Amino acid sequence: MTLVTAIALSTQYVLTKQNVEADLAKVTEEIEQELQVILQEPVYVYDKALIGSILEAYIKNDTISSIVVRDQNGKEMSQIRQQVAEFESRIDIEWDGLPIGSVSLGFNSEQARNELDNLMLRSMLMFGTLYLVVIVSLGYIMDRLVVTPIKGMASSMNDIAAGGGDLTSRVQATSNDEVSDLAKAFNRFVETVQEIVIDTARTTESLKQNGSAITSVRASVSQQTENQLALTHESLSKIEQFNLATSEIAANTENTLFKSNDALSLGASSEQAITQNVSNVEDLSANLETAAERANALKNRSDDIGRVVEVIKAIAEQTNLLALNAAIEAARAGESGRGFAVVADEVRALASKTHDSTSEIESIIESLQQEATESFNATQESKQLVELTKASSDEAQVALSKMIEAVTSINAMVDSVASACEEQSNVSNTVAGDMRELDSSAADMRSVNNELQTLAEAITLNTTELDSQIRRFRY
C-alpha cells in the first residue's frame, strides 16, 4: 500500500512539474513576442521615457525578474532589475528588417515552484487521508474475516493441547477464502489426530494382552534354559578331563619328537661338516697338484737359467781373454795404443765382474733348484695323505647318511603319533568350544530372558500410562 501511494505521488509530481514548466515556457514566449513588437517604435526614436513605462508595466509579472533594453550598438537605453534571474533570454528588435536594438529578459521560476510545492502538499494530505481510511478499513475486515476465525482455531488447539480436548468438534468453515481453507485444513488435522488416537487405543489394548502372553512364555523359556545350563556344565567337565589326558600324551610325543629332531639336526650338521671337509680336501688335493706342477716347472726354469748362466760365464771368460790380448797389443803399440789399453782394462774389469756375478747367480740357482725339488717331493707326500683323508671322510659320510635315514624314519613315526594326538586334541577342543558356546548361549539366553522380563514389565507400565493419557481425550 505504501509503495502504491509513493508511486502515485511521484507520478503526479512529475506530471504537474511538466505542466508548470510548459506553462512557464509558453508565458515566456508570449512576453518575448509582445516586447519585440511594442518596443520597435520607442527604440527606433530613442524614447527612453516610453521604454521605461513599458518596462515598469511588464516587470509586475511575477515570472520576470529583470528587463534590459539596448540599442543596436549595445548601449543600454533602460533597465529594471528586481532580483537575480535564474535564466535569461535575448531577442532582437528590428525595423523594416534591420536591427535597431535588443531586449534581455531575466526570468524567475519561484512562483512555479511555490505552486508545485502547494500542489504536492495537497496531494500528500489527500493520499495520507485515503491511506488512513484504507488501513482502518482493512483492519476491520481482517478482524472480522481472519482474526476471529483464527482465535476460534487457537481455542480448539489449546483445548487439545491441554489434554482435555474434544476431538469430535470441528471449526466452522462457510466462506471461500484462505481463512476458510485454513479452517478446513485444521479440521482435517483434528480428524487425523482422532484416527491416530483411536488406533493407539486399540494398539494399547493389544499390547496389554501381548504383555501377559510374553510373561507366560518367558517363564517357560527360563526353566528350559536352566536345564540346558546344567547339562552343558556336566558335558563340559567330562570333555575337559578327556582333553587333559590327550594333552599329556601329546606332550610326551612332542618331547620325543623334539629329541629326535635334535638328533636329526645334529646328524645333518655333521653330514654337512663332513661334506664340507671332503670338498675342502678335494680343493687341497687340487691345490697340491697345482703346487707340485709349479714346483716342477720352477725346477725346470732353474735348470734353464743355470744353462744360460754357464753361457754368460763362458762369454765373460772369453771377453777377459780378449781384453788381455788387447792390453798386450796396446803395450806393443806404445804411446799410440795407450787409449786403447785403458779401454781394454775397463773391458777386462767388466768381464771379471760379470764372471763373479754369474758365479753368485749360479750358487743361488743351485739353492733354488734344491728347494724346488724338496717342495715337489713334499707336495707329492701331502697329496697321498690327502687321498687317504678323503677316503676316510667318504666312509664317515656314508655311515652318517644311514644314521640320518634311521632317525628320519623314527621321526616320521613320532610325527604320525603327534599328528594323531593333535587331531584328537583339536576334535576335543572343538567339542569343548562348542559346549562352551552352548553354555555361553544358554547364559545369554538367561540374560535375554531377564531383559525380556524387564521389557515386558516396562511395556505393561508404558501401556498403562498410555491408556490413561488416551482416556483424557473424547474420541
**Bridge-based pairing state of the strands 76-81 and 98-107:** unpaired
Q: How many CA atoms lie within 13 A of 408 on its CB side?
A: 8
* Cell representation of residue 24: 512557464
Residue 64: closest CA among 116, 113, 111: 111
Burial (CB < 10 A; 0-12, 13-18, 19+), residue 106, is buried
Say how many C-beta atoms besides its own lie within 10 A of residue 282's C-beta. Answer: 13
Three-class SS of residue 470? helix
Question: Domain 2-127: which CATH class?
Answer: alpha beta
| Report field, pTM of the whole predicted structure over 0.75 | no
Is the sign of the CA dihedral 305, 310, 315, 317 positive or negative?
Answer: positive
Q: Are 11 and 119 in contact (CB under 8 A)?
A: no
Question: Contact, 86 vs 112, CB < 8 A?
Answer: no
What length does the chain have? 475
Q: Cα 451 vs. chain centroid, distance in angstroms? A: 45
**229-448: what fold?**
Helix Hairpins (1.10.287)
pLDDT tens per residue across all 475 residues of the chain: 556 555 665 676 666 667 767 777 787 788 888 888 888 888 888 888 888 888 888 888 777 888 889 888 888 888 888 777 777 888 888 888 888 899 888 877 666 667 767 777 777 787 778 778 878 887 777 776 667 767 766 776 676 655 555 666 666 666 676 667 777 777 777 778 777 877 777 777 777 676 666 677 666 766 776 776 677 777 667 667 766 766 776 676 677 667 666 666 766 666 676 677 666 666 666 666 776 677 677 667 777 777 777 777 777 777 777 767 777 777 777 666 666 666 667 766 776 777 677 777 777 777 766 776 776 676 677 667 667 766 766 776 676 677 777 667 766 776 776 676 677 667 667 766 766 776 677 677 677 777 777 777 777 777 777 777 666 666 6
Delimit the domains of the chain by residue range.
Answer: 2-127, 229-448
Strand blocks (E) in 11-50: none
pLDDT tens digits, 360-409: 777 777 776 677 677 667 667 766 766 776 676 677 667 667 777 766 77
